[in-house]
């Protein structure tokens, strides 16, 4: 069987360029928790962001795997431009930027990931795809390698079950988008996850300059269990005529001190992603309060997915 895994639907990182330009990173004092090499699967915006921060802040070498050479080239091209702009602004030196590029090893060969002792999967929210990947990781990675997923909604217990023989080493490190800007990371354990696995994940996340929050495997975990229903309710308010989109976003920004209005945030996340998470919450809890807004489903059906499609609640 070929070890090559097709990773479909990777989003272009270029659409978050303006957000990435404004970030700043403080170098942590923690060690890397024993991580000498990181593996990242998926060169989309999340995979690139994780690779970038690991190479810059924790200073570990990164193997970045993607089945699409075009996706890799686009991501690394974006990263190079970002680094050059930050060097010009004095955020760090040219040598620092060169070292970041040097530490990231891009490849389309899936087997290359087996050299890492901490692996983070960052592919689209497709359960069979993730399970296939974790089955291959369990078979090929070393017996002490941590196998982590960046999933935002899929059960960690289900993903771990696909990693036959390595179930206790599967955990979730759910980074927030965009990775260089957002400090928080959810560490989620499945039913099978060993406490040592969680401890090592927490240590490495801290070494990346992030602030971990630990939770158990529950639909939506913490962040999306709260955030996505909030967005869904804002869409329902728009759908039922409670307020115009500008007014809904304005009151949450200017009245509730949110950095971004919920409809603009939905566009940034991707309406298809919001719908997928709401469907997980609704299906797995059987609670009617998680029913996706009718307008959300219609917009996804129309292909109006937000920033990624140039049209959502706003035009881009």
Select which of 51, 75, 153, 186 is catalytic.
186
Buried b (16+ CB within 10 A) or exposed e, 28-39: eeeebbebebbb
Active site residue 186: yes
Select which of 67, 155, 224, 309 is catalytic.
224
Q: Is 135 annotated as a binding residue?
A: no
User: Rounded to whole angstroms, what are the CA distances from 106 to 68, 82, 99, 110, 217?
Assistant: 11, 17, 14, 11, 31
Q: Is 125 annotated as a binding residue?
A: yes
Q: Is 43 annotated as a binding residue?
A: yes
- Full DSSP string of 82-99: HHHHHHHTTSS-HHHHHH
Q: Is 44 annotated as a binding residue?
A: yes
Q: Is 177 annotated as a binding residue?
A: yes
Active site residue 284: no
Q: Is 66 annotated as a binding residue?
A: yes
Select which of 58, 71, 150, 152 is catalytic.
152
Select which of 148, 155, 172, 174 is catalytic.
174
What is the C-alpha end-to-end distance of the chain, expressed in Å? 43
Distant-in-sequence, close-in-space partners of 191: CB < 8 Å, separation ≥ 6: 157, 160, 217
Q: Looking only at Cα atoms, what is the longest distance across the chain? A: 56
Active site residue 174: yes
User: Rounded to whole angstroms, what are the CA distances from 188 to 87, 153, 170, 191?
Assistant: 35, 11, 10, 10
Active site residue 152: yes
User: Rounded to whole angstroms, what are the CA distances from 150 to 46, 125, 196?
Assistant: 8, 9, 19
Grouping H, G, I as helix, E, B as strand and the rest as coil, residue 234 is helix
Backbone angles phi, psi at 48, to 5 degrees: -65, -45
User: Rounded to whole angstroms, what are the CA distances from 211 to 163, 182, 249, 251, 265?
Assistant: 27, 9, 28, 29, 22
Q: Is 42 annotated as a binding residue?
A: yes
Q: Is 33 annotated as a binding residue?
A: no
Q: Is 26 annotated as a binding residue?
A: no
Q: Is 86 annotated as a binding residue?
A: no
Binding positions for NAD(+) are 42-47, 66, 125, 130, 152, 177, 308
Residues belonging to the active site: 152, 174, 186, 224
Query: Binding site membership: which residues?
Result: 42-47, 66, 125, 130, 152, 177, 308
């Amino acid at each position: 069987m070929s070890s090559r895994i097709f990773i479909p639907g990777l989003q272009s990182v270029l659409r978050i360029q303006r957000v990435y330009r404004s970030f700043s990173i403080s170098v942590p004092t923690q060690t890397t928790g024993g991580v000498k090499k990181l593996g990242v699967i998926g060169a989309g915006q999340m995979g690139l962001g994780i690779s970038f921060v690991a190479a810059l802040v924790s200073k570990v070498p990164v193997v970045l795997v993607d089945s699409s050479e075009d996706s890799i080239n686009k991501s690394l091209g974006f990263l190079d431009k970002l680094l050059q702009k930050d060097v010009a602004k004095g955020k760090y030196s040219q040598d620092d930027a060169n070292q970041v590029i040097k530490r990231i090893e891009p490849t389309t060969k899936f087997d290359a990931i087996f050299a890492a002792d901490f692996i983070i999967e960052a592919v689209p929210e497709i359960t069979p795809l993730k399970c296939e990947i974790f089955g291959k990781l369990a078979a090929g990675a070393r017996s002490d390698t941590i196998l982590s997923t960046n999933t935002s909604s899929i059960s960690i217990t289900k993903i771990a079950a696909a990693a036959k023989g390595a179930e206790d080493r599967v955990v979730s490190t759910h980074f927030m988008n965009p990775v260089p800007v957002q400090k928080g990371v959810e560490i989620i354990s499945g039913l099978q996850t060993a406490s040592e696995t969680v401890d090592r994940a927490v240590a490495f996340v801290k070494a990346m300059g992030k602030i971990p929050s630990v939770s158990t495997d529950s639909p939506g975990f913490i962040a999306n269990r709260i955030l996505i229903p909030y967005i869904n309710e804002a869409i329902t308010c728009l759908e039922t005529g409670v307020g115009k989109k500008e007014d809904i976003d304005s009151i949450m920004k200017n009245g509730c001190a949110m950095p971004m209005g919920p409809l603009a945030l939905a566009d940034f996340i991707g309406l298809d992603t919001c719908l997928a998470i709401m469907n997980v919450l609704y299906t797995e809890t059987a609670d009617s309060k998680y029913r996706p807004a009718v307008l959300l489903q219609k917009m996804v059906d129309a292909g109006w997915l937000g920033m990624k499609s140039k049209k959502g609640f706003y035009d881009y």
